[in-house]
């Protein structure tokens, strides 16, 4: 490392002449290395001999490895006292940058808040729309289900004859509805035909339907059947024409109700619970 030395007239003055002051601010030495060594001249716009001397100091510092640009040093030296120091300017610039950053940050935050508010409003509107659509769909399903699950009378225009109970010392597990042969016999609700054919047990032409709730109806003594096993039927759908086939003493529909395909119950009471009055 080269040793700094001074010779002849370049030796720094022991004391300032002509009242000029040369100040090498320690803080600036540390904070403006990149810009070079800053020298403040008390008055002259031209480099004084003393300033030139300090420039040599600067060059020497550069020789020690610090990047002190002589021109930058000179320009800084030309900076008059009373002008704001580069530290002040740096501080002001920093303040401006902080202010601008904060302003930009606030603007960004406001924009983000507005975007979030807009997105939330859109999401709420979409949710409300979906909820309304779901409500409409649910209502439609409810109506369709109510329509499919409604119960209706098996025949129109009948006379109640033998009811559910003992008749001539024998159990009659049905409700007989006297009606002219050829009267339309209808499914009581939605269901599946589980039997359609001739009964060897005295029921004549019989159709059995298992409904959506598991109940099975028997409709006997028909003159003609209109459905076959496995067929899906809807409430009120024609399934047969009434008649007087099998063990029958006159044209009528013999109706049995077997809840859960089990033992028969009184049809009138059972249908009454489903708003069907016989
Ligand atoms: Zn009967």
Residue keyed to tokens 């040369």: 22
The pLDDT value recorded for residue 63 is 46
What mean pLDDT comes out for the span 115-141?
Answer: 94
* Ligand 1 centre distance from Cα of residue 236 (Å): 21
Closest CA to 250 of 152, 157, 176, 167: 176
Kindly indicate the confidence band of residue 107, based on its pLDDT and cuts at 50, 70 and 90.
Answer: confident
* Ligand 1 centre distance from Cα of residue 164 (Å): 9
Both tokens assigned to 122 = 């859109």
* Ligand 1 centre distance from Cα of residue 172 (Å): 7
- CA atoms of 150 and 134, how far apart (whole Å): 24
Kindly indicate the confidence band of residue 59, based on its pLDDT and cuts at 50, 70 and 90.
Answer: very low
The pLDDT value recorded for residue 43 is 43
* Ligand 1 centre distance from Cα of residue 253 (Å): 7
What mean pLDDT comes out for the span 8-18?
Answer: 51
Kindly indicate the confidence band of residue 118, based on its pLDDT and cuts at 50, 70 and 90.
Answer: very high
Q: Is the pLDDT of residue 115 over 60?
A: yes
* Residues 196/238, Cβ–Cβ less than 8 Å: no
27-41, 68-82, 89-103, 118-132 — most confident range: 118-132
* Ligand 1 centre distance from Cα of residue 247 (Å): 9
* Ligand 1 centre distance from Cα of residue 255 (Å): 7
- CA atoms of 30 and 66, how far apart (whole Å): 11
What mean pLDDT comes out for the span 211-232?
Answer: 98
- CA atoms of 124 and 34, how far apart (whole Å): 57
* Ligand 1 centre distance from Cα of residue 200 (Å): 15
Report helix angle 49-63 to 70-77, nearest 10: 150
* Ligand 1 centre distance from Cα of residue 177 (Å): 8
Could you tell me the pTM of the whole model? 0.58
* Ligand 1 centre distance from Cα of residue 197 (Å): 17
Q: Which H/E stretch holds residue 50?
A: helix 49-63
Domain locations in the chain as residue ranges = 24-127, 159-272
* Ligand 1 centre distance from Cα of residue 212 (Å): 24
Give the number of residues written for the chain.
278
Q: Which CATH number does the domain 159-272 belong to among 3.40.640.10, 3.30.365.10, 2.70.70.10, 3.90.1170.50?
A: 2.70.70.10
């Amino acid at each position: 490392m080269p040793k700094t030395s001074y010779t002849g007239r370049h030796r720094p003055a022991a004391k300032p002449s002509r009242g000029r002051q040369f100040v090498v601010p320690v803080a600036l030495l540390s904070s403006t290395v990149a810009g070079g060594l800053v020298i403040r001249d008390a008055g002259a716009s031209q480099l004084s001999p003393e300033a030139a001397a300090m420039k040599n100091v600067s060059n020497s510092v550069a020789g020690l490895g610090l990047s002190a640009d002589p021109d930058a040093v000179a320009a800084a030296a030309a900076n008059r006292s009373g002008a704001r120091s580069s530290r002040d300017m740096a501080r002001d610039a920093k303040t401006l940058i902080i202010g601008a950053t904060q302003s930009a940050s606030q603007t960004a935050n406001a924009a983000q808040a507005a975007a979030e508010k807009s997105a939330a409003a859109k999401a709420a509107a979409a949710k409300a729309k979906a909820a309304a659509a779901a409500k409409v769909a649910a209502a439609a399903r409810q109506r369709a289900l109510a329509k499919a699950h409604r119960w209706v009378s098996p025949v129109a225009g009948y006379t109640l004859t033998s009811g559910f109970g003992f008749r001539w010392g024998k159990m009659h597990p049905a409700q007989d509805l006297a009606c002219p042969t050829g009267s339309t016999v209808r499914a009581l609700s939605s269901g599946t035909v589980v039997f359609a054919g001739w009964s060897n047990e005295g029921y004549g032409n019989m159709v059995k339907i298992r409904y959506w709730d598991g109940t099975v109806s028997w409709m006997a003594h028909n003159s003609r059947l209109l459905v076959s096993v496995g067929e899906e039927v809807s409430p009120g759908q024609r399934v047969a024409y009434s008649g007087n086939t099998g063990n029958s003493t006159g044209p009528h529909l013999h109706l049995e109700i077997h809840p859960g395909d089990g033992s028969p119950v009184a049809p009138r009471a059972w249908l009454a619970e489903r708003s069907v009055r016989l």
